[in-house]
Amino acid sequence: MGTRVLALLALHAVAGMSSSAQAAPMKAVIPNFPIRTQWEHGHGYCGELSIQQTALTRGVWVGQQQARNIGGGEVLLGRPGSNLNNLQKVLQALGFDFVVWDPDSEAGQGIPTSYMRWMKQQIIAGRAAIFGARLQDGEDDAWYDHIMPAYGIYYDSSTAGQYDARDTLTWTDNYGTVANKTMSDESFYAEQYNCEMPQDTYSGCIPLGADTFATAMGGLLDARKLFLPLRLIITGWSNGAEADSEPRVNANPPASARYRLAFQPGANVRPGNKFAVHRCDRAANGSGGPPANPTDASQLAAAGCRSWDFTMNSSTLPQLSHRALGVLWSNSIVYYVATRQQ
């Protein structure tokens, strides 16, 4: 880390802590974020796995190859609406809410404080910030070498809308490791080929001296808040593969998952409450899947989704699994959504 970078960090640390007294510490974390391992062939599937992990927190399975197929190639980040940003194309096709960071809104070539503030605000809003990072030794790409999802931020409530050098970001490196770094940590930022990472990790560094790229991924488009917060948990595979790894796409036949569903915090489903679970399978041609912003559960049936009715009691949650809800193949895209019944 050069003296120029250290000086910039010192300057921004002072700027980030200019508010008077420290208020209550806060944290915003996408709950139960799954830590999974990407495929390494085909130049790596880091963008695809970032989508898969985030989708699981919304009850959706997206095979890595299926994400790449929708993107028309390796899933990458880029400017809003650009052909390079096919991650945006994938999220749009799958029906997820998303926001794209515009690197042209960052002035200057110092510590990218606007970028870090934007990621913080997206995570506070409940989205995962899928960002590009440098790796140790790196590649010849002038912008980034690796893509990862950031899903947590620890911050001071008095600076929730600002860049604050005391903030701590949480993300996964897509190889099974969780990383946490404070904004003032000098190892958080690096110019090309100069990133220093802990041994046996791919946690990366925020780029210096280059444009920064990120896309924030939220939940399924649901303006009426029809869907109850639901997550999908993979517990194993029929071919014996580890639960946190997806069997390779050339498996013939593809592996089936052992899985279960669980409500996320905020679903507020109490004993005696009635709800329905809907399964919507997306075909290879893009048909299927829940409609965007549905106004009524009947629209899910009209879209070809299957449904099961439940009343919450002590035996309900174990029923929300592959035993009742059907086979989930590794090379598929399947949506599970839940709606409340009167």
We report the CATH number of the domain holding residue 201 as 3.90.70.10
Please indicate, yes or no, whether residues 271 and 212 belong to a single structural domain of this protein: no
Query: For residue 291, what are the contacts with CB-CB under 8 A and spacing of at least 6?
Result: 299, 300, 302, 303
- CA-nearest of 147, 150, 166, 146 to 158 is 166
With 0-12 CB in 10 A as exposed, 13-18 as middle and 19+ as buried, what is 151? buried
Please indicate, yes or no, whether residues 216 and 322 belong to a single structural domain of this protein: no
- CA-nearest of 14, 38, 314, 287 to 149 is 38
Please indicate, yes or no, whether residues 87 and 43 belong to a single structural domain of this protein: yes
Please indicate, yes or no, whether residues 172 and 251 belong to a single structural domain of this protein: no
Q: Cα torsion at 119, 121, 124, 128 (round to 10°)?
A: -30
Domain count, the chain: 2
Domain end, chosen from 220, 243, 258, is at 220
The β-bridge relationship of strands 274-282 and 333-341 is antiparallel
- CA-nearest of 9, 4, 7, 208 to 109 is 208
Please indicate, yes or no, whether residues 192 and 68 belong to a single structural domain of this protein: yes
Please indicate, yes or no, whether residues 113 and 247 belong to a single structural domain of this protein: no
Domain end, chosen from 183, 201, 220, is at 220
Please indicate, yes or no, whether residues 150 and 284 belong to a single structural domain of this protein: no
Please indicate, yes or no, whether residues 11 and 81 belong to a single structural domain of this protein: yes
- The answer to whether 289 and 254 are in contact (CB under 8 A) is no
* Main-chain dihedrals φ then ψ at residue 34, nearest 5 degrees: -80, 140
Q: One digit per residue, pLDDT tens: the chain, 342 residues?
A: 444 444 444 444 434 444 445 567 889 999 999 999 999 999 999 999 999 999 999 999 999 999 999 999 999 999 988 888 999 999 999 999 999 999 998 866 688 999 999 999 999 999 999 999 999 887 778 899 999 999 999 999 999 999 999 999 999 999 999 999 999 998 999 998 999 988 888 999 999 989 999 999 999 999 999 999 999 999 999 999 999 999 986 656 789 999 999 999 999 999 999 999 999 999 988 999 999 999 999 999 999 999 999 999 999 999 999 999 999 999 999 999 999 997
Domain end, chosen from 220, 237, 253, is at 220
* Main-chain dihedrals φ then ψ at residue 336, nearest 5 degrees: -115, 125
Please indicate, yes or no, whether residues 39 and 66 belong to a single structural domain of this protein: yes
Please indicate, yes or no, whether residues 89 and 184 belong to a single structural domain of this protein: yes
With 0-12 CB in 10 A as exposed, 13-18 as middle and 19+ as buried, what is 9? buried
Please indicate, yes or no, whether residues 206 and 290 belong to a single structural domain of this protein: no
Query: For residue 239, what are the contacts with CB-CB under 8 A and spacing of at least 6?
Result: 247, 251, 255
Q: Cα torsion at 127, 215, 182, 134 (round to 10°)?
A: 150
Q: What is the largest CA-CA distance in the chain?
A: 64
Please indicate, yes or no, whether residues 94 and 215 belong to a single structural domain of this protein: yes
Give the number of residues written for the chain: 342
> Residue 261 is part of which domain span?
227-341
